[in-house]
Amino acid sequence: MHSFPSLKSSRLQLRPLAQADVAFVLYHFSDPAVNRHLLDQAAIASLEEAQNIVDFFVQSTDDTYTRWVLVNQADGQPIGTCGFHKWDQRNRRAEIGYDLTPGAWGQGYMSEALTTMLTYGFTAMGLNRVEALVYPANTASVKLLEKLNFQREGVLRDCFYHEGSFYDHWLLSLLKPHFQALSA
């Protein structure tokens, strides 16, 4: 069993999602702007759904999924989340997910958070390959990944079914030798 610690970047603290985060999870994952390109899951609308998300990460003994809350060190406020999914320890690979509250977009916060998370992944977790699935129209996310040296490998056709339609996604990946931490 792997124990995921809190991590720190210059402006952020990345701390594992906790029971105290239920209200933030509801606020964050019910926001249409945050959810617009998160097509692998439905937006949530109730405290019960937020509690289910928190319980999944807090109570589970399955360490193939982890989620950190991004806390702005300046004021202690949560501004988003990020984490690894589907950690395959045998093959040393995992997928990543990330989302920021709209008021924090465009200020380099997720570049900073992912640099910190990937540094941890490629060292403490022993990862060699990190994957990201992105809706092609999600320009901010594609740019973010390219800035971190992720390379596009192809299109996963009709990868997600969301509100009556299927959506293609791009598969991007980053290999350990190509990872270079960005300075904040």
Ligand X SMILES: CC(C)(COP(=O)(O)OP(=O)(O)OC[C@H]1O[C@@H](n2cnc3c(N)ncnc32)[C@H](O)[C@@H]1OP(=O)(O)O)[C@@H](O)C(=O)NCCC(=O)NCCS
Q: What residues make contact with ligand X under the rule CB under 6 A?
A: 34, 37-38, 98-100, 105-111, 134, 138-141, 143-144, 147
83 or 127, CB closer to ligand X?
83
**Residue found by looking up tokens 């949530």 in the block:** 44
Quote the least distance from Cβ 99 to ligand X, whole Å.
4
89 or 146, CB closer to ligand X?
146
Quote the least distance from Cβ 80 to ligand X, whole Å.
6
Side-chain half-sphere exposure of 54, counting CA atoms within 13 A: 18
Compute the distance between CA of residue 16 and CA of residue 22 in angstroms, rounded to an integer.
13
Compute the distance between CA of residue 111 and CA of residue 141 in angstroms, rounded to an integer.
10
126 or 137, CB closer to ligand X?
137
4 or 98, CB closer to ligand X?
98
- 9-39 in b/e form (b: 16+ CB < 10 A) is bebbbbbbbeeebbebbbebbeeeebbebbb
